């Protein structure tokens, strides 16, 4: 590599992080954050790693070292939660998580003495709550959102639960997960150290991770502990009781996390308050409907709404006050309905269904297209090394609407992709015609 100064090492790491569809705008504060999380040596070698999952053999080749030394260093990075690992068909792979939900949070998901967590929390607060560029990029750089809200299932009636889809249930995600991890809430931990403690004194031990992320965080460095489905449901019930909002990865299948969020500490809910009417996360498919006859304008629903989407207003025509929901910003979480003592709030399905990406790959591709970073995702320094990975990406592109396909093709400027998309579109058209013909018969 030649000689690198400390600034070179951290600047290279900044550039590496910003190859993600989700990046981190470079500032002096980010530089200080990276100095806390990474040693100069760690920054130097992390900056060389691929965006996509890689093997020990691949890392050793990039670093020009032995596989034994590479594995020891990779294990060390996993222990600091700067990498997460997984195993597929007997092959161990590693990947660098994005800043959020990723290595920013992992640093505060347990109490640890190897870094100054108070100083780090103050830096996080400066970077996210004062400077704002990171938050704006995180939540509004793409149409497809990083996170989505889950409706609080206990507020739904039996009739409504017949219409809720499995992937809309936090309980279903818990029931289907192979591994479940429980960690400290990063948001409330950060806010406490930064001098802005949680206003509602919500529980800290309710941060849920799933799958390989949960297993890796638990096995390396104890950033989470593996728990049973029963313990996970207990965390969910405690979160419901504390009026917390469930925000998970914006996918239908195998989400990596579900956070239980308060309006005073969570970056997403804070952003919803500060930048309304822009939505930082995907909403549920529900909206609260308030009954004129039952509402007594007690104001409890307005008080507990995590994003201040409810006001008590007087009707000019009916001559009485009642709660009014701003449906343009409402998340559809159901916290208001849970707290109404007069059964005046009922959760109703939204008139237009919210579209949720199927998998993480689906979400990554959509966000990369929207942000113009699809070439980074495809032509990483592991490009075309994994036919399975490439097939997954192209498979997602082929199932996108024509406009998104055209944007993907334009960004890649690839004759090969153009032809691939053309063939895929022809096959889809043939299938539709076949269905129409069979319907006519």
Give pLDDT tens digits for 314-334.
Answer: 876 666 889 999 999 999 999
Residue 383: per-residue pLDDT = 41
Phi, psi dihedrals of residue 149, rounded to the nearest 5° = -95, 145
Residues in the chain: 441
Per-state percent for the chain, helix, strand, coil, to nearest 5: 50, 15, 40
H helix or E strand, kind and range, residue 337: helix 335-339
**pLDDT score recorded for residue 420:** 54
Query: With 0-12 CB in 10 A as exposed, 13-18 as middle and 19+ as buried, what is 52?
Result: buried
Q: Reduced to 3 states, what is the DSSP secondary structure of residue 84?
A: strand
pLDDT of res. 437: 63
CB atoms within 10 A of CB 181: 25
Residue 94: strand pairing partners? 54, 85
Write the CB contacts of 181 (distance below 8 Å, at least 6 apart in sequence). 208, 209, 210, 213, 214, 215, 217, 218, 224, 225, 226, 227
Q: CA-to-CA distance for 37 and 115, rounded, in angstroms?
A: 7
Residues of the chain under the 70 pLDDT cut = 1-4, 6, 316-319, 379-395, 398, 409-441
In contact, 95 and 84? CB cutoff 8 Å? yes
CATH number of 286-349: 3.30.70.20
Residue 354 burial by Cβ neighbours in a 10 Å radius (0-12, 13-18, 19+): middle
- Nearest Cα to 392, choosing from 425, 422, 354, 365? 365
Residue 34 in tokens: 């990276």
- 208-231 pLDDT, tens digit per residue, is 999 999 999 999 989 999 999 999
CA pair distance 194, 7, nearest whole angstrom: 26
Conformational region of residue 2, where left means phi above 0, alpha means psi within -120 to 50, and beta covers everything else: left
Rounded Cα–Cα distance for residues 430 and 228 (Å): 47
Q: Could you tell me the pTM of the whole model?
A: 0.86
- Determine if residue 255 is left, alpha or beta; phi over 0 gives left, psi from -120 to 50 gives alpha, anything else beta: beta
What pLDDT does residue 369 have? 84
User: Closest Cα to residue 272, out of 170, 430, 145?
Assistant: 145
Domain spans, the chain: 98-282, 286-349, 360-428
Write down the residue that tokens 């980074």 correspond to. 376
8 A C-beta contact, residue 361 and residue 304: no
- Kind and range of the H or E element at 120? helix 117-125
pLDDT (0 to 100) of residue 30: 97
Counting beta carbons within 10 angstroms of the beta carbon of residue 66, is it exposed (0 to 12), middle (13 to 18) or buried (19 or more)? exposed
Q: What are phi and psi of 371, to 5 degrees?
A: -95, -10
User: Which pair of tokens denotes residue 89?
Assistant: 């068909």
CA angle 58, 101, 142 (to 5 degrees): 95
């Amino acid at each position: 590599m030649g000689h690198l100064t400390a600034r070179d090492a951290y600047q290279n790491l900044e550039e590496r992080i910003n190859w993600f569809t989700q990046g981190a705008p470079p500032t002096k504060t980010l530089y200080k954050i990276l100095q806390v999380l990474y040693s100069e040596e760690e920054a130097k070698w992390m900056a060389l790693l691929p965006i996509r999952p890689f093997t020990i053999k691949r890392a050793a080749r990039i670093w020009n070292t032995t596989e034994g030394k590479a594995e020891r260093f990779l294990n060390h990075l996993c222990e600091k939660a700067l990498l997460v690992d997984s195993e597929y068909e007997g092959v161990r792979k590693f990947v660098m998580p994005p800043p959020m939900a990723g290595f920013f949070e992992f640093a505060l998901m347990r109490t640890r003495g190897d870094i100054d967590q108070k100083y780090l929390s103050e830096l996080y607060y400066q970077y996210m709550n004062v400077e704002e560029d990171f938050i704006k990029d995180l939540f509004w750089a793409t149409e497809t959102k990083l996170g989505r809200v889950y409706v609080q299932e206990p507020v739904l009636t039996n009739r409504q639960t017949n219409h809720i889809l499995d992937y809309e249930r936090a309980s279903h995600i818990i029931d289907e997960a192979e591994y479940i991890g429980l960690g400290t809430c990063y948001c409330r931990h950060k806010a406490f150290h930064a001098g802005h403690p949680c206003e509602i004194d919500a529980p800290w031990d309710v941060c849920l991770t799933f799958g390989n992320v949960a297993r890796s965080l638990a096995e390396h460095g104890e950033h989470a502990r593996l728990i049973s489905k029963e313990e996970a449901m207990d965390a969910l019930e405690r979160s419901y009781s504390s009026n917390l909002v469930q925000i998970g990865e914006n996918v239908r299948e195998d989400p990596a996390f579900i956070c239980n969020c308060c309006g005073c500490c969570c970056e997403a809910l804070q952003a919803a308050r500060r930048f309304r009417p822009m939505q930082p996360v995907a909403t549920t498919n529900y909206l609260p409907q308030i009954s004129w006859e039952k509402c007594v304008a007690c104001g409890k629903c307005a008080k507990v709404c995590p994003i201040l989407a409810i006001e008590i207003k007087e009707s000019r025509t009916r001559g009485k006050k009642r709660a009014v929901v701003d449906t343009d910003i409402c998340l559809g979480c159901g916290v208001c309905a849970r707290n109404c003592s007069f059964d005046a709030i009922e959760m109703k399905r939204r008139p237009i269904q919210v579209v949720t990406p199927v998998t993480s790959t689906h979400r990554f591709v959509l966000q990369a297209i929207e942000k113009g970073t699809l070439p980074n995702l495809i032509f990483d320094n592991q490009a075309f090394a994994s036919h399975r990975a490439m097939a997954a990406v192209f498979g997602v592109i082929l199932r996108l609407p024509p406009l998104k396909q055209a944007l993907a093709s334009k960004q890649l400027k690839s004759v090969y992709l153009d032809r691939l998309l053309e063939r895929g579109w022809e096959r889809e058209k043939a299938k539709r015609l076949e269905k129409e013909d069979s319907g006519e018969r």
